[in-house]
């Protein structure tokens, strides 16, 4: 009986078998032609990696257990003890914690670069500087990075550019095509998109970097389970449709919030008032994504009243699910930053980050309206 499934089955196994010693030797002589142990490779992980690599137009991708392990893998591709790493000052709080609290313990030196100096890097690059980590769209202030310009600066100074493309997804932006050396995603977010998977990925511009990332993943045990890989690969099939819906609703919501009397500011690249609006339009293929932030009065009790009055939008400190959710950067993703840096970045008590889902914009706006009415 011939069995030809349209969807790849789940290879929920930790180990694969061999017929004899000759088969074992063939595995080591021709990597990728067969499987031995799921930490080294699994058909579900491979399918997911190949599909994301195709979307990002890379030369190889490696699936990891989370977005954080993807960031760790990417840094370790280029840096070791004694090396220096640069990071954009406006970065996800988890990235900052990994660099400053953990990788410094392993002997890496880390310096943060303010947005105003990111394209020059004057005085920041040292002889042992290996890379700069930045985001396509910063979290949570939605600053859009000119990746082509940044890549030119980095390569002119002999360092690598690593880009976290989680907020944009490859549907909006492909950083490798703009000069990045490595791209990372928290697959947990838009790529998987249904708030039921925790995963990461590293995509490389060169085969050598992809092989090094794979070695790090295997040796450090950063692999993803077959079932989670299967779930994420399933979700990729609707990524383009979902991103268009996210972007359309987010633009409508941002425009509505911008005219609301209880909203002091809205941060969304799709608004003409956004400082990088034209860059975002070009770099984002005409889409601006599903993430936005807005500021109410800096009053935590007012924020609490707003949250409690919402009926459909939950306070869920993550992002990119098919249903809309909100987060509070001051108390979640960026709570580990110093108060001085929080204020410098604009992360205040009244800042709300909104992950706009794929619902009709009218439904989202109606819930926000009753939330703001309680403020």
Which strands form 265-267's sheet, in the order they lie side by side?
265-267, 291-295, 351-355, 325-327
Is residue 353 part of the annotated active site? The answer reads no
Q: From the candidates 189, 212, 242, 353, give the one annotated as an active-site residue.
A: 189
- Token pair listed for 209: 């970097």
Q: From the candidates 130, 160, 164, 228, give the one annotated as an active-site residue.
A: 164
Residue 257 near residue 97, CB atoms below 8 Å: no
Is residue 80 part of the annotated active site? The answer reads no
Residue 326 near residue 352, CB atoms below 8 Å: yes
Is residue 164 part of the annotated active site? The answer reads yes
Task: Please give the Cα distance from 316 to 174 (Å, whole number).
Answer: 28
Q: From the candidates 92, 124, 190, 268, give the one annotated as an active-site residue.
A: 92
Terminal-residue alpha carbon distance, the chain? 65
Residue 164 near residue 139, CB atoms below 8 Å: no
Is residue 240 part of the annotated active site? The answer reads no
Residue 112 near residue 103, CB atoms below 8 Å: no
- Token pair listed for 7: 């969807």
Q: From the candidates 39, 211, 305, 344, give the one annotated as an active-site residue.
A: 39
Which stretches does DSSP call E strand in 263-329?
265-267, 291-295, 325-327
Q: Which residues have a catalytic role annotated? A: 39, 92, 164, 189
């Amino acid at each position: 009986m011939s069995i030809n499934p349209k969807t790849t089955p789940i290879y929920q196994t930790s180990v694969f078998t061999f017929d004899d010693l000759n088969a074992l030797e063939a595995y080591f002589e021709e990597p990728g032609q067969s499987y031995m142990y799921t930490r080294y490779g699994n058909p579900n992980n491979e399918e997911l990696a190949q599909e994301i690599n195709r979307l990002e137009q890379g030369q190889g991708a490696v699936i990891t257990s989370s977005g954080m392990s993807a960031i760790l893998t990417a840094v370790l591709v280029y840096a070791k003890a004694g090396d220096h790493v640069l990071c954009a000052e406006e970065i996800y709080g988890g990235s900052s914690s990994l660099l400053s609290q953990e990788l410094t313990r392993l002997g890496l030196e880390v310096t943060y670069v303010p947005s105003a100096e990111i394209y020059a890097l004057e005085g920041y690059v040292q002889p042992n500087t290996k890379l700069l980590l930045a985001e396509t769209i910063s979290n949570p202030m939605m600053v859009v990075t000119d990746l082509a310009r940044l890549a030119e600066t980095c390569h002119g100074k002999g360092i690598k550019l690593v880009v976290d493309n989680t907020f944009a997804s490859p549907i909006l932006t492909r950083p490798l095509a703009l000069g990045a050396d490595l791209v990372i995603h928290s697959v947990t977010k838009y790529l998987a998109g249904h708030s039921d998977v925790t995963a990461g990925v590293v995509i490389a511009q060169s085969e050598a970097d992809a092989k090094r990332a794979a070695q790090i993943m295997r040796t450090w045990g950063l692999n993803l389970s077959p079932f989670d890989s299967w779930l994420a690969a399933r979700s990729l099939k609707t990524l383009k449709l979902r991103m268009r819906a996210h972007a359309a609703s987010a633009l409508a919501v941002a425009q509505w919030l911008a005219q609301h009397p209880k909203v002091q500011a809205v941060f969304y690249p799709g608004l003409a008032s956004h400082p990088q609006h034209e860059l975002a339009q070009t770099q984002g293929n005409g889409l601006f994504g599903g993430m936005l932030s807005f500021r109410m009065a800096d009053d935590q009790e007012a924020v609490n009243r707003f949250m409690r009055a919402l009926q459909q939008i939950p306070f869920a400190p993550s992002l990119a699910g098919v249903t809309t959710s909100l987060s509070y950067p001051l108390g979640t993703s960026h709570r580990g930053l110093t108060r001085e840096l929080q204020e410098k970045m604009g992360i205040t008590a009244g800042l709300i980050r909104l992950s706009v889902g794929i619902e009709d914009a009218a439904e989202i706006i109606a819930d926000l309206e009753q939330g703001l009415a309680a403020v």
